[in-house]
Amino acid sequence: MSDIVSCGTEQELETAVAEAARVVADGECIVLPTDTVYGIGCDAFSAPGVQGLLAAKGRTREMPPPVLISRPEVMAGLADQVSDDARALADAFWPGALTLVCWAQPSLGWDLGETHGTVALRAPDDAVTRAVLERVGPMAVSSANRTGLPAARTAHAAREMLQDRVGLYLDDGARPTTALPDDVRDAASTIVDCTGETPVVLRHGAISLHRLREVVPTVHGGADDAAPAPEPDPAPEPDPAADQVSAVDRAGTAAPSTPGDAVSDDEVIASMVRDASAPPAGDVDQARDRSRHAEPRWEGTSALSMADARRLVGGDTPADRG
């Protein structure tokens, strides 16, 4: 049976991180605590590691894992055409329980599965996770459980399900460490698709829709949009002084921008991405699929199909979340 290594003290954490780095460098998977639940992870650039992660969970390539990063700044090296809304959400909630789906950099030599050229990124708010990520680099990480079983909240619960499919288990007590706010449904991360013009919630989790809209008011709540989108501000009364402004001035002035989880996947997935304006890149492992299709999709756009979106989020049951 694979070892469970404690991370309770500073010295134990240093030893555990060194051992975790060795296991990951060998193309194996580890289980580690995050700020949501325990996760099973591997080097995001290791094809054997990703395959081992999917096999350990009982998943296929149609359910690719998200990628955890140590700091928000790493997003620039992994994501392409990041929108202002995505940056605003990352600035507000990273590190934290928010996963952002973005276009992947087309030059990256990784293979996470059938991602349709996207990558789901998160910077976790957990000292153990960050210590491992600082040593290992970006990691493909999914909830530590067999598909269809509850996500592990302790290292021992994870080992009961995954056993020797994982090379090492890091133990830092139960997760999450704090109680959930009243307005959230689940400890799992909230997933927001930021590849289109409007951010869309694919899974409601530890960051509530209300909090997201405090930062980006246009966030769409997905198929389970309990709260209506904010109403536009009423038009101001005519200002006689405005007649003194030239037509050129009026046309050239832009309106200021506004500053700023147990349910089934069927209930929370609205759709995926709208077409991006840039042409697709050349043949790479993560070639982006931005072609138009005849199938009617969300609001008449050519986003990914509901089935593809469901596979991207992954997880067959409410418990199978990361």
Query: How many CA atoms within 13 Å lie on the side-chain side of 26?
Result: 11
pLDDT at 114: 93
- Tell me how far the alpha carbon of residue 169 is from its chain's centroid: 23
The full DSSP string for 128-177 is HHHHHHHHH-SEEEEESS-TTSPPPSSHHHHHHHHGGGSSEEEE-SSS--
pLDDT at 54: 96
**Of 124, 263, 142, 269, the residue nearest 193 (C-alpha):** 269
pLDDT at 317: 44
Question: Mean pLDDT score of the chain, rounded to an integer?
Answer: 78
Distance CA(297)–CA(168), nearest Å, equals 43
Joined together, the tokens standing for residue 158 give: 């994870």
User: Cβ neighbours of residue 249 under 8 Å, at least 6 residues apart?
Assistant: none
* Assigned fold of 3-227+260-313: DHBP synthase (3.90.870)
Contact criterion met (CB below 8 Å) for 188 and 322: yes
The mean per-residue pLDDT over the stretch 141-158 comes to: 95
Q: Give the domain ranges of the chain.
A: 3-227+260-313
* CA distance readout (Å), 261 to 188, 208, 264, 290: 6, 8, 10, 30
pLDDT digits (tens, 9 = 90+) for 5-48: 999 999 999 999 999 999 999 999 999 999 999 999 999 999 99
Instruction: Output Rg (C-alpha) for the chain, integer angstroms.
Output: 21
Distance CA(131)–CA(5), nearest Å, equals 15
pLDDT digits (tens, 9 = 90+) for 160-212: 999 999 999 999 999 988 887 777 767 889 999 999 999 999 999 999 999 99
pLDDT digits (tens, 9 = 90+) for 204-241: 999 999 999 999 999 999 976 654 444 545 544 443 33
Q: Find the angle CA(260)-CA(230)-CA(251) to the nearest 5 degrees.
A: 70
Distance CA(41)–CA(24), nearest Å, equals 8
pLDDT at 187: 80
Contact criterion met (CB below 8 Å) for 29 and 53: yes
Please report which helix (H) or strand (E) contains residue 80, including its range.
Answer: strand 79-80
Joined together, the tokens standing for residue 123 give: 């910077």
pLDDT digits (tens, 9 = 90+) for 265-307: 323 322 333 333 333 333 333 334 444 333 333 443 334 455 5
pLDDT digits (tens, 9 = 90+) for 38-73: 999 999 999 999 999 999 999 999 999 999 999 999
pLDDT digits (tens, 9 = 90+) for 91-126: 999 999 999 999 999 998 899 999 999 999 999 999
Contact criterion met (CB below 8 Å) for 20 and 135: yes
Residues in the chain: 322
Q: Where residue 320 falls among pLDDT bands split at 50, 70, 90?
A: low
